[in-house]
Structure 1
Amino acid sequence: MDRLAVNDLEAVLAIARKGSFRAAAVDLGMSATALSHAIGKLEADLGVRLFNRTTRSVSLTEAGRVFVEQVGPTLQDMRSALEGVRAHRATPSGTIRINAAPFAARAIMSPLVVAFLRRYPDMTIDIVTEGRLIDVVADGFDLGVRVAGLVPSDMIAVPLGRPQRYAVVGSPRYFARHGKPRVPPDLLHHTCIRVRLPDGGLFRWRFEKDGEIAQLDVRGPVILDEGSLARIAVRESIGIGFFLEQDILADIASGDLIRILDDWTPPSPGLCLYYPGRRNLSAGMKAFLALAREMAARERGPA
């Protein structure tokens, strides 16, 4: 017990969080074999099994559940204490872990993350992309990046840049065969590419014009959960797609895709960084948030 290391405790929490040795090993930056050996040694030292293992799943034992419930808050207090100490460094250092939707990660990579790393070369940014919404605190992240409407109400949100727009598009070949919808309800008579949300539900296409709002459950033969796949389907003339404008501007400019219902897709709230309201932010976190606010203000321009 005296030789228990913080890394061992982090490993237990990572496996409990991910439900898999392999996924936890990726999260921790080590091999699954090394992680399995570390947990085996920890269990031997403690004299109890923390996990039930089968070839298909990993779950906490009762002892493991108690261990996680008691160790988790203690580790969080230790992280906060370390962040408080690091906040006194003149030059920020350390790692910031960010969870983001894939398109959100692409949006912040060049203007924000690259600029931050050039300004603070002692810092490391660890970005994990996934479509589903997670609890950034429980999963060990410092920050999340999502569209404004998906930011949990108990988090501090930092708006990033300008509002975003959606765009409805189809290929020239599709419209040559089937014609163009003139108003949103016309889409119900067309083949559309449907998108599954992180919670498992299907995304409803939302339109607004002169105070009139329409939300449609479109129909189509394909259901996807990744924007790049939906873009391929639309370019191949399978159906009409609904995208964030920034993701298909090049296709529209080249003529590979044709935009429709432009006047029915007004700007909507853009991306936000969000984080829990901790009293002690590390120097690196403070610098990252300051740069994010600085760049967002610059992009919005004069009020």
Structure 2
Amino acid sequence: MKQNFTVRQGALDGVEAFLSVARHRSFRKAAADLGVTPSAISQTVRVLEERVGAALFVRTTRSVGLTEAGERFLSHAKPAFEQLVAASEAARGLGQRPTGLLRLSVPRAIVPIILEPLLASFCEAYPEIEVEIATSKELIDLAAEGFDAGIRLGQFVDADMVAVPLTPPFRLVVVGSPAYFARRSRPRHTDDLRQHACLRWRQSSGALALWSFNDHGHAIEIAVSGPLIASDFPTMLGAAKQGMGLAQLPEVMAAEGLKTGKLVHVLEAYAPMVPGVFLYYPGRRQMTPKLRAFIDHVKSHTPGRGKTRAQDDAMRAGARKKR
């Protein structure tokens, strides 16, 4: 026979009234304590006794005492009720001020670019918040895995998520090292990539990512080949610096290598624009103070904050492309 684990409606009704009467040894004082009439307290306790199946109080015109059943009920009900009150206060605290554990699902490549520069200042500003960062390339179910939010490139954020821009849109650039180009001529057109060693990225779906380009306003994708397949951008970046081949990367990741001369930019005229990096979470109604504090802090410490028209257009294009 299937058991019924449903909590009975009204199972806790009358417990607070009982505890107040037991504490004051008076229906009148308990009523004043709870802000109700003595008759209401009396009726509530009577219903509780009927539900329990035993008298809990001995009533006289001069005093109120506990029966043996009442003493036994009190010994169990008082600590349990106090724990319920404490649980409510703890939950209320999480709902009213920035506190608790903030869990974020983030690609490894994003950590040094966006999170490292602001984590110390955020933790200093909000000492009651603990930040846990789980690095993964997988697009996980935030709610099922217990995460408050995730951070991803805009084209990988589902359309039903609330998305907050953390960076402006940026380009995908093709780069290689000077050592590589000492052995190979630089590509002038996307068709030239067939003669080059290209470092490829395997997506979380298992598919090899195509290289995307903007050819005079037309979006094109090209299947490339080469000696290395990686599951994250930092590995591809490192391999490109070592001269293993060409890599297509977010410009923000390649910026330092381009500035120091460790990388060379090619096919610049074909570089496509992508939406940028977004923080996302399931719904506005689930916004907690700790998450709101983090979003506000990131915005105030990230250049180019604020959603632009270009980001709106890029996000919509990315969502259509995924569908």
TM-score, normalization by structure 1: 0.66
Instruction: Give the AA of the match of 1:238.
Output: M
Match of 1:63 in 2: none
Q: What pairs up with 1:86-101 in 2 under 5 angstroms?
A: 86-89=94-97, 92-101=98-107
Structure 1 residue 286 displacement after superposition: 2.2
1:115 is aligned to 2:126: no
Q: Larger deviation: 279-288 or 168-177?
A: 279-288
SS in 1 for 2:138: coil
Change (3 A) 1:154 1:259: same
Change (3 A) 1:300 1:263: farther
Mark the structure with the bigger radius of gyration.
Answer: 2
Instruction: Give the AA of the match of 2:115.
Output: M
Instruction: Give the AA of the match of 2:153.
Output: V
SS in 1 for 2:143: coil
Matched residue pairs, number? Answer: 223
Change (3 A) 1:151 1:81: farther
Match of 2:177 in 1: 171
Contact 1:144–1:275 under 8 Å retained in 2: yes
SS in 2 for 1:177: coil
Deviation digits for residues 242-288 of structure 1 (CA, Å, limit 9, x no counterpart) = 11212222222222221101121143201111111163533212222
Contact 2:212–2:219 under 8 Å retained in 1: yes
Instruction: Give the AA of the match of 1:186.
Output: D
Instruction: Give the AA of the match of 1:102.
Output: R
Instruction: Give the AA of the match of 2:171.
Output: R
Contact 1:193–1:240 under 8 Å retained in 2: yes
Q: Larger deviation: 263-272 or 225-234?
A: 225-234
Match of 1:199 in 2: 205
SS in 2 for 1:102: coil
What is the RMSD of the two structures over their aligned residues, measured on CA atoms? 2.6
1:139 is aligned to 2:145: yes
SS in 2 for 1:207: strand
For residues 248 and 143 of structure 2, the distance between their equivalents in structure 1, rounded to whole angstroms, comes to: 32
- Unaligned runs of 5+ residues in structure 2 are 1-86, 310-323
For residues 119 and 242 of structure 1, the distance between their equivalents in structure 2, rounded to whole angstroms, comes to: 37
Match of 2:261 in 1: 255
Q: What pairs up with 1:24-35 in 2 under 5 angstroms?
A: none
Contact 1:136–1:144 under 8 Å retained in 2: yes
SS in 1 for 2:183: helix
Q: Percent identity?
A: 34
Q: What pairs up with 1:209-220 in 2 under 5 angstroms?
A: 209-220=215-226
For residues 181 and 298 of structure 1, the distance between their equivalents in structure 2, rounded to whole angstroms, comes to: 32
Structure 1 residue 195 displacement after superposition: 1.2
For residues 152 and 134 of structure 1, the distance between their equivalents in structure 2, rounded to whole angstroms, comes to: 11
Contact 1:84–1:281 under 8 Å retained in 2: no
Contact 2:165–2:305 under 8 Å retained in 1: no
- Unaligned runs of 5+ residues in structure 1 are 1-78
1:182 is aligned to 2:188: yes
For residues 88 and 225 of structure 2, the distance between their equivalents in structure 1, rounded to whole angstroms, comes to: 49
Instruction: Give the AA of the match of 1:207.
Output: F
Contact 1:208–1:265 under 8 Å retained in 2: yes
For residues 234 and 139 of structure 1, the distance between their equivalents in structure 2, rounded to whole angstroms, comes to: 34
SS in 1 for 2:274: coil
Contact 2:163–2:279 under 8 Å retained in 1: yes
